[in-house]
Amino acid sequence: MSPEPTDLRGVIVATALPYKENPSAPAGLEVDYDKFAEHCDWLISNGCRGVGPNGSLGEYSSLTDAERRKVIQVAVETVGDRGVVVAGVHGPGWHQAKHWAELAAEDGAHGLLSLPPTMYRANDSQVIEHYAKLSEVGLPIMIYNNPIDTKVDLRPDLVAEIAKLPNISAIKEFSGDVRRLFEIKELCDIDVVAGADDVLFELMADGAVGWFAGFPNVFPAESVEIYEHMLAGRFLEARELYKHLVAVFRWDSRVEFVQAIKLSMDLVGRYGGPCRPPRGPLIADHHAQVTADTERAVAALEKYRAVAA
Protein backbone atom coordinates (compact mmCIF):
# COMPACT_ATOMS: atom_id res chain seq x y z
CA MET A 1 0.00 0.00 0.00
CA SER A 2 1.35 3.39 -0.96
CA PRO A 3 -0.08 5.98 1.45
CA GLU A 4 -1.65 9.16 0.15
CA PRO A 5 0.52 12.04 1.35
CA THR A 6 -2.28 13.97 3.05
CA ASP A 7 -4.50 11.09 4.17
CA LEU A 8 -4.31 10.20 7.87
CA ARG A 9 -7.37 7.95 7.83
CA GLY A 10 -7.60 4.29 8.81
CA VAL A 11 -6.49 2.45 11.94
CA ILE A 12 -3.30 4.14 13.08
CA VAL A 13 -2.00 2.63 16.30
CA ALA A 14 -0.63 4.80 19.08
CA THR A 15 2.27 2.45 19.65
CA ALA A 16 3.30 1.36 23.12
CA LEU A 17 7.04 1.47 23.74
CA PRO A 18 8.92 -1.54 25.16
CA TYR A 19 11.80 -1.20 27.61
CA LYS A 20 14.45 -3.57 28.89
CA GLU A 21 16.26 -3.34 32.21
CA ASN A 22 19.53 -1.42 32.23
CA PRO A 23 20.77 0.16 35.49
CA SER A 24 22.52 2.96 33.59
CA ALA A 25 19.43 3.97 31.57
CA PRO A 26 16.85 6.54 32.76
CA ALA A 27 14.88 4.99 35.64
CA GLY A 28 16.77 1.74 34.94
CA LEU A 29 14.85 1.13 31.73
CA GLU A 30 16.37 1.25 28.24
CA VAL A 31 14.22 1.52 25.12
CA ASP A 32 14.18 -1.86 23.37
CA TYR A 33 14.29 -0.75 19.73
CA ASP A 34 14.37 -4.32 18.40
CA LYS A 35 11.13 -5.19 20.19
CA PHE A 36 9.62 -1.90 19.07
CA ALA A 37 10.47 -2.63 15.43
CA GLU A 38 8.99 -6.11 15.72
CA HIS A 39 5.83 -4.67 17.22
CA CYS A 40 5.43 -2.09 14.46
CA ASP A 41 5.88 -4.84 11.87
CA TRP A 42 3.27 -7.01 13.62
CA LEU A 43 0.73 -4.20 13.63
CA ILE A 44 1.17 -3.48 9.92
CA SER A 45 1.11 -7.21 9.12
CA ASN A 46 -2.24 -7.44 10.93
CA GLY A 47 -3.83 -4.85 8.67
CA CYS A 48 -3.31 -1.56 10.52
CA ARG A 49 -2.87 1.48 8.32
CA GLY A 50 0.02 2.84 10.27
CA VAL A 51 1.73 3.53 13.58
CA GLY A 52 1.82 6.60 15.78
CA PRO A 53 5.02 6.66 17.84
CA ASN A 54 5.77 9.27 20.52
CA GLY A 55 2.21 9.71 21.66
CA SER A 56 1.10 9.61 25.27
CA LEU A 57 0.92 5.82 25.02
CA GLY A 58 4.48 5.90 23.69
CA GLU A 59 5.55 7.77 26.84
CA TYR A 60 7.13 10.58 24.82
CA SER A 61 7.48 12.85 27.85
CA SER A 62 9.65 10.24 29.63
CA LEU A 63 12.15 9.91 26.78
CA THR A 64 15.47 11.60 26.22
CA ASP A 65 15.80 13.72 23.08
CA ALA A 66 17.94 11.04 21.43
CA GLU A 67 15.43 8.31 22.26
CA ARG A 68 12.51 10.35 21.04
CA ARG A 69 14.13 10.85 17.65
CA LYS A 70 15.31 7.27 17.26
CA VAL A 71 11.82 5.90 17.96
CA ILE A 72 10.59 7.75 14.86
CA GLN A 73 13.51 6.54 12.77
CA VAL A 74 12.91 2.91 13.77
CA ALA A 75 9.20 3.18 12.98
CA VAL A 76 9.85 4.72 9.56
CA GLU A 77 12.46 2.11 8.67
CA THR A 78 10.19 -0.74 9.81
CA VAL A 79 6.97 0.42 8.15
CA GLY A 80 8.62 1.39 4.88
CA ASP A 81 6.08 1.84 2.09
CA ARG A 82 3.51 -0.46 3.73
CA GLY A 83 1.75 2.24 5.72
CA VAL A 84 2.07 5.60 7.42
CA VAL A 85 4.05 6.84 10.39
CA VAL A 86 2.33 9.69 12.22
CA ALA A 87 4.83 11.15 14.65
CA GLY A 88 3.76 12.66 17.95
CA VAL A 89 5.31 16.13 18.23
CA HIS A 90 3.72 17.34 21.45
CA GLY A 91 5.51 20.15 23.26
CA PRO A 92 4.95 22.96 25.75
CA GLY A 93 5.59 25.64 23.12
CA TRP A 94 5.41 25.82 19.34
CA HIS A 95 9.19 26.17 19.12
CA GLN A 96 9.60 22.74 20.74
CA ALA A 97 6.79 21.08 18.80
CA LYS A 98 8.11 22.53 15.54
CA HIS A 99 11.59 21.22 16.32
CA TRP A 100 10.22 17.69 16.69
CA ALA A 101 8.13 18.14 13.55
CA GLU A 102 11.15 19.19 11.52
CA LEU A 103 13.12 16.17 12.73
CA ALA A 104 10.17 13.87 11.97
CA ALA A 105 9.97 15.27 8.44
CA GLU A 106 13.71 14.84 7.99
CA ASP A 107 13.46 11.24 9.19
CA GLY A 108 10.65 10.31 6.80
CA ALA A 109 7.43 10.50 8.84
CA HIS A 110 4.26 10.85 6.77
CA GLY A 111 2.32 13.04 9.18
CA LEU A 112 2.22 14.66 12.60
CA LEU A 113 0.01 14.31 15.66
CA SER A 114 0.01 17.36 17.91
CA LEU A 115 -1.71 18.41 21.07
CA PRO A 116 -2.11 22.14 21.66
CA PRO A 117 0.58 23.57 23.96
CA THR A 118 1.12 21.21 26.88
CA MET A 119 1.58 22.27 30.51
CA TYR A 120 -0.13 25.60 29.81
CA ARG A 121 -3.78 26.55 29.41
CA ALA A 122 -3.31 28.42 26.13
CA ASN A 123 -5.96 30.78 24.80
CA ASP A 124 -7.44 30.51 21.30
CA SER A 125 -4.93 32.79 19.60
CA GLN A 126 -2.00 30.93 21.17
CA VAL A 127 -3.44 27.58 20.09
CA ILE A 128 -3.86 28.84 16.53
CA GLU A 129 -0.29 30.19 16.53
CA HIS A 130 0.96 26.81 17.76
CA TYR A 131 -0.59 25.00 14.81
CA ALA A 132 0.31 27.75 12.34
CA LYS A 133 3.99 27.29 13.18
CA LEU A 134 3.68 23.51 12.86
CA SER A 135 1.98 23.86 9.48
CA GLU A 136 5.11 25.55 8.14
CA VAL A 137 6.90 22.19 8.28
CA GLY A 138 4.73 20.94 5.41
CA LEU A 139 3.57 17.55 6.69
CA PRO A 140 -0.15 16.80 7.15
CA ILE A 141 -1.20 17.42 10.73
CA MET A 142 -3.71 15.61 12.92
CA ILE A 143 -4.62 18.02 15.69
CA TYR A 144 -5.42 16.34 18.99
CA ASN A 145 -8.21 17.38 21.32
CA ASN A 146 -7.61 16.01 24.82
CA PRO A 147 -9.05 18.59 27.22
CA ILE A 148 -8.79 16.12 30.09
CA ASP A 149 -4.98 16.16 30.05
CA THR A 150 -4.15 19.52 28.50
CA LYS A 151 -6.96 21.66 30.00
CA VAL A 152 -7.30 23.16 26.52
CA ASP A 153 -10.52 22.27 24.70
CA LEU A 154 -10.41 22.36 20.91
CA ARG A 155 -14.07 23.35 20.63
CA PRO A 156 -15.75 22.93 17.23
CA ASP A 157 -15.57 26.68 16.54
CA LEU A 158 -11.83 26.68 17.37
CA VAL A 159 -11.29 23.59 15.22
CA ALA A 160 -12.89 25.48 12.33
CA GLU A 161 -10.36 28.29 12.74
CA ILE A 162 -7.42 25.89 12.92
CA ALA A 163 -8.71 24.03 9.85
CA LYS A 164 -8.17 27.19 7.79
CA LEU A 165 -4.40 26.73 8.16
CA PRO A 166 -2.41 24.84 5.50
CA ASN A 167 -1.69 21.15 6.07
CA ILE A 168 -4.35 20.59 8.74
CA SER A 169 -5.70 17.17 7.78
CA ALA A 170 -7.63 15.67 10.70
CA ILE A 171 -8.63 15.96 14.33
CA LYS A 172 -8.19 13.21 16.88
CA GLU A 173 -11.28 13.68 19.05
CA PHE A 174 -10.78 12.52 22.63
CA SER A 175 -13.28 14.67 24.49
CA GLY A 176 -15.70 11.73 24.82
CA ASP A 177 -18.55 13.88 23.49
CA VAL A 178 -19.68 12.05 20.36
CA ARG A 179 -22.11 14.88 19.55
CA ARG A 180 -19.20 17.04 18.48
CA LEU A 181 -18.59 15.28 15.20
CA PHE A 182 -21.61 16.73 13.46
CA GLU A 183 -20.91 20.22 14.79
CA ILE A 184 -17.30 20.07 13.59
CA LYS A 185 -18.40 18.90 10.15
CA GLU A 186 -21.01 21.67 9.98
CA LEU A 187 -18.29 24.27 10.53
CA CYS A 188 -15.35 23.00 8.48
CA ASP A 189 -14.01 20.30 6.19
CA ILE A 190 -11.69 18.22 8.33
CA ASP A 191 -11.43 14.46 8.86
CA VAL A 192 -12.66 13.46 12.31
CA VAL A 193 -10.74 10.55 13.82
CA ALA A 194 -11.88 8.55 16.85
CA GLY A 195 -9.39 9.20 19.62
CA ALA A 196 -10.84 7.05 22.41
CA ASP A 197 -11.33 3.33 21.86
CA ASP A 198 -14.57 3.11 23.82
CA VAL A 199 -16.45 5.61 21.62
CA LEU A 200 -15.26 4.20 18.29
CA PHE A 201 -18.62 2.71 17.37
CA GLU A 202 -20.57 5.88 18.08
CA LEU A 203 -18.12 8.23 16.34
CA MET A 204 -17.87 6.07 13.23
CA ALA A 205 -21.64 5.72 13.07
CA ASP A 206 -21.70 9.52 12.90
CA GLY A 207 -19.04 9.65 10.19
CA ALA A 208 -15.55 9.41 11.68
CA VAL A 209 -13.13 8.17 9.02
CA GLY A 210 -10.18 7.12 11.16
CA TRP A 211 -9.16 5.69 14.49
CA PHE A 212 -5.99 6.73 16.31
CA ALA A 213 -6.08 3.81 18.61
CA GLY A 214 -4.68 2.24 21.78
CA PHE A 215 -5.98 -1.30 22.14
CA PRO A 216 -5.07 -2.39 18.61
CA ASN A 217 -1.68 -2.83 20.29
CA VAL A 218 -3.41 -5.91 21.73
CA PHE A 219 -6.11 -6.79 19.18
CA PRO A 220 -4.99 -5.38 15.81
CA ALA A 221 -6.76 -7.75 13.41
CA GLU A 222 -10.06 -7.58 15.31
CA SER A 223 -9.81 -3.80 15.53
CA VAL A 224 -9.27 -3.48 11.80
CA GLU A 225 -12.25 -5.76 11.23
CA ILE A 226 -14.48 -3.52 13.36
CA TYR A 227 -13.22 -0.42 11.58
CA GLU A 228 -13.80 -1.87 8.12
CA HIS A 229 -17.32 -3.03 9.04
CA MET A 230 -18.15 0.46 10.29
CA LEU A 231 -16.66 2.17 7.26
CA ALA A 232 -18.77 -0.04 5.00
CA GLY A 233 -21.93 0.58 7.01
CA ARG A 234 -22.12 -2.97 8.34
CA PHE A 235 -23.12 -1.74 11.78
CA LEU A 236 -24.66 -4.96 13.08
CA GLU A 237 -21.55 -6.95 12.19
CA ALA A 238 -19.33 -4.31 13.78
CA ARG A 239 -21.42 -4.18 16.95
CA GLU A 240 -21.32 -7.95 17.35
CA LEU A 241 -17.53 -7.85 17.46
CA TYR A 242 -17.21 -4.52 19.28
CA LYS A 243 -19.37 -5.61 22.22
CA HIS A 244 -16.79 -8.28 23.12
CA LEU A 245 -14.01 -5.69 23.34
CA VAL A 246 -15.58 -2.50 24.64
CA ALA A 247 -15.11 -3.36 28.33
CA VAL A 248 -11.35 -3.60 27.95
CA PHE A 249 -11.39 -0.66 25.49
CA ARG A 250 -12.69 1.54 28.34
CA TRP A 251 -9.24 1.45 29.90
CA ASP A 252 -8.03 3.60 27.00
CA SER A 253 -9.94 6.51 28.56
CA ARG A 254 -8.60 6.08 32.08
CA VAL A 255 -5.59 7.63 33.77
CA GLU A 256 -3.80 4.26 33.86
CA PHE A 257 -4.29 3.56 30.13
CA VAL A 258 -0.59 3.06 29.35
CA GLN A 259 -0.09 0.49 32.11
CA ALA A 260 -3.42 -1.15 31.27
CA ILE A 261 -2.63 -1.57 27.58
CA LYS A 262 0.86 -2.87 28.32
CA LEU A 263 -0.55 -5.41 30.79
CA SER A 264 -3.16 -6.48 28.26
CA MET A 265 -0.37 -6.98 25.71
CA ASP A 266 1.47 -9.20 28.18
CA LEU A 267 -1.68 -11.23 28.80
CA VAL A 268 -2.19 -12.06 25.11
CA GLY A 269 1.42 -13.08 24.57
CA ARG A 270 2.85 -9.81 23.29
CA TYR A 271 5.45 -7.82 25.21
CA GLY A 272 4.11 -4.81 27.08
CA GLY A 273 6.42 -4.58 30.04
CA PRO A 274 6.97 -1.76 32.53
CA CYS A 275 6.60 2.01 32.20
CA ARG A 276 9.00 4.79 33.05
CA PRO A 277 8.09 7.32 35.76
CA PRO A 278 5.82 8.95 36.57
CA ARG A 279 3.80 5.85 35.65
CA GLY A 280 4.19 3.08 38.18
CA PRO A 281 2.70 -0.41 38.32
CA LEU A 282 -1.06 -0.78 38.46
CA ILE A 283 -2.55 -1.09 41.92
CA ALA A 284 -3.80 -4.59 42.71
CA ASP A 285 -7.48 -3.83 42.02
CA HIS A 286 -6.74 -2.30 38.63
CA HIS A 287 -4.37 -5.14 37.72
CA ALA A 288 -7.08 -7.65 38.53
CA GLN A 289 -9.74 -5.75 36.58
CA VAL A 290 -7.58 -5.32 33.46
CA THR A 291 -6.73 -9.01 33.65
CA ALA A 292 -10.37 -10.00 33.96
CA ASP A 293 -11.48 -7.66 31.15
CA THR A 294 -8.73 -8.92 28.83
CA GLU A 295 -9.36 -12.59 29.58
CA ARG A 296 -13.08 -12.11 29.05
CA ALA A 297 -12.43 -10.43 25.70
CA VAL A 298 -10.09 -13.21 24.59
CA ALA A 299 -12.61 -15.90 25.54
CA ALA A 300 -15.44 -14.09 23.78
CA LEU A 301 -13.36 -13.64 20.64
CA GLU A 302 -12.56 -17.37 20.57
CA LYS A 303 -16.31 -18.14 20.64
CA TYR A 304 -16.98 -15.46 18.03
CA ARG A 305 -14.38 -16.96 15.71
CA ALA A 306 -15.69 -20.46 16.25
CA VAL A 307 -19.23 -19.42 15.29
CA ALA A 308 -17.99 -17.48 12.28
CA ALA A 309 -16.04 -20.52 11.07
Catalytic residue set: 144, 172
Torsion sign across C-alpha atoms 182, 184, 187, 190: negative
List the alpha helices (DSSP H) in 80-217: 94-106, 124-135, 147-150, 156-162, 180-187, 200-205
Quick one: which H or E segment has residue 194? strand 191-194
CA dist 39 and 283 (Å) reads 26
Pair 129, 158: CB distance under 8 Å: no
Q: At what angle do helices 235-242 and 220-231 cross, to 10 degrees?
A: 150
CB 259 within 8 A of CB 281: yes
Residue 105, SS3? helix
What radius of gyration do the chain's Cα atoms show? 18
Query: What gap in Å lies between CA 288 and CA 272, rounded to an integer?
Result: 16
Pair 11, 216: CB distance under 8 Å:
yes
Residue 293 exposure: Cα atoms within 13 Å on the Cβ side:
22
Q: How far apart are CA 104 and CA 110, in angstroms?
A: 8
Q: How many angstroms separate the Cα of 103 from the Cα of each of 48, 181, 238?
A: 24, 32, 38
Distance from C-alpha of 178 to C-alpha of 194, rounded to nearest angstrom? 9
Burial of 231 (0-12, 13-18, 19+ CB in 10 A): middle
